[in-house]
Amino acid sequence: MTTLLDEIKAIIADRGPITVEQYVQLALAHPELGYYMNRDPFGAAGDFTTAPEISQMFGELVGLWAAEVWSSMGSPRPARLVELGPGRGTLMSDALRAARIAPPFREALDVWLMETSPTLAAIQHDLLLDCGAPVAWAQRLKDIPEGPAIVIGNEFLDALPVRQFVRVGGQWRERTVGLSEEGELAFGVASSAEPYISATAQNGEILEVNPAGHRLMFELGARLVKHGGAALLVDYGHTVTSFGDTLQAVRAHRYVDPLAAPGDCDLTTHVDFAAMARSARATGAVVYGPIDQGDFLRAIGIDLRTKALAERAGPERSEALQQARNRLVGKAKGEMGALFKAIAVADRRLPPPPGFQPNAAKTA
Ligand code: SAH
């Protein structure tokens, strides 16, 4: 059987080096052999674990967050609850269960999942079969009907392919993937420069740009401004634009060489929240944060939730709940509380969404 590695090598042998963006796009989203297309990568037996897979509390709190945002929007009916890149569907399932305490909200919901992977869409379908709300799937935001919307996305932006530029001889050149003399995949740089990039840096620095992320923030911001609503995006990344190669590959919970096994490992990059926020603001939407995931979850009640669930559980489960809470909120090495950030994009007529402080006048 041809592997994706063979296929990418053949493409390069035929047409010459491809950009890093094209490489990541093929590795993740090749229709048959792309990483997300044919597998369930999550959990202990998979390649990596995400916050909703660590604890039901994550999705539950996001569900209550959405219910509160909905009331602040004036309780529109119908209201679209959209999730970008829902993985196994765990977050949405937990969110809808928690939203049972707000029946008018649940009854108003029209759930949309934006997902490119048929394998994951099938898993989401099975999990959400009895969720009590109408659920539909779309591959692009523009295919989701217009109207007031609450949009959520966990570890979505990091999965979008970035372009990388390398500073060489005082100019930026696009980073490419080509073939070494031995016929293996190898990073390189394009022969022509990209003179329109105004940033300057020392030779050897790498600049990352996420075109798909920018397009999404533009579309999302424009939609929220026009139809009302708010979005919550949680991911790992940096609050200030900086240089550096953040492309990483993970397989079976370990870092591996990003060029070694395309299609068989997850490829991600750190999200440049400052850059994403600039694109969303350009549409007239308001951006709150980024704030640390730990601070966000505490502000929306993870400690109360942990306590309430622990009181109803036996000692072992109670200990597991506490550990999950610490992993999501803690800021030590190996914990997610500071590494992950939350950002909200909202219609400016709404108050700051739960968990976020009002912006200083300058940026509001
Ligand atoms: N939110 C989930 C999964 C994160 S992994 C969780 O927290 O567990 C990234 C998800 O985004 C996967 O479901 C993947 O198939 C999906 N995805 C990646 N690129 C996409 C794109 N361009 N459009 C829609 N979904 C995409």
**156: CA distance to ligand 1 center in Å?**
5
Q: Is the CB of 117 under 6 A from ligand 1?
A: yes
Q: Is the CB of 41 under 6 A from ligand 1?
A: no
Judged against a pLDDT cut of 90, whether residue 47 lies above it is answered with no
**36: CA distance to ligand 1 center in Å?**
8
Judged against a pLDDT cut of 90, whether residue 207 lies above it is answered with yes
Q: What is the pLDDT of residue 364?
A: 45
Q: What is the pLDDT of residue 362?
A: 55
User: Which residues neighbour 319 within 8 Å (Cβ) at sequence distance 6 or greater?
Assistant: none
- Quick one: pLDDT band at residue 39, thresholds 50, 70, 90? confident
Q: Is the CB of 208 under 6 A from ligand 1?
A: no
Q: What is the pLDDT of residue 46?
A: 85
User: Tens of pLDDT along 262-302?
Assistant: 999 999 999 999 999 999 999 999 999 999 999 999 999 99
User: Tens of pLDDT along 107-162?
Assistant: 999 999 999 999 999 999 999 999 999 999 999 999 999 999 999 999 999 999 99
User: Tens of pLDDT along 225-261?
Assistant: 999 999 999 999 999 989 999 999 999 999 999 999 9
Q: Is the CB of 213 under 6 A from ligand 1?
A: no
Q: Is the CB of 155 under 6 A from ligand 1?
A: yes
SS3 358: coil
How many residues can be counted in the chain?
364
Q: What is the pLDDT of residue 138?
A: 98
SS3 176: strand
- Quick one: pLDDT band at residue 360, thresholds 50, 70, 90? confident
Q: What is the pLDDT of residue 1?
A: 74
Judged against a pLDDT cut of 60, whether residue 348 lies above it is answered with yes
Q: What is the mean pLDDT of residues 159-167?
A: 98
**Both structure tokens of 165:** 């530029």
pLDDT, averaged across the chain: 95
Q: Are 82 and 149 in contact (CB under 8 A)?
A: yes
- Quick one: pLDDT band at residue 2, thresholds 50, 70, 90? confident
Q: What is the mean pLDDT of residues 307-314?
A: 93
- Quick one: pLDDT band at residue 45, thresholds 50, 70, 90? confident
Domains and CATH numbers, the chain: 35-162+210-346 (3.40.50.150)
DSSP 249: E
**153: CA distance to ligand 1 center in Å?**
8
Q: What is the pLDDT of residue 361?
A: 63
* Global model pTM greater than 0.85: yes
Nearest-angstrom CA–CA distance, 324 and 344? 24
Percent of the chain with pLDDT over 90: 92
User: Tens of pLDDT along 50-75?
Assistant: 999 999 999 999 999 999 999 999 99
**C-alpha distance from residue 293 to each of 25, 342, 344 (Å):** 28, 6, 12
Judged against a pLDDT cut of 90, whether residue 180 lies above it is answered with yes
Question: Within a 10 A sphere around the Cβ of 241, how many other Cβ atoms?
Answer: 14
> Which H, E and C letters describe 58-102, residue by residue?
HHHHHHHHHHHHHHHCCCCCCEEEEEECCCCCHHHHHHHHHHHHC
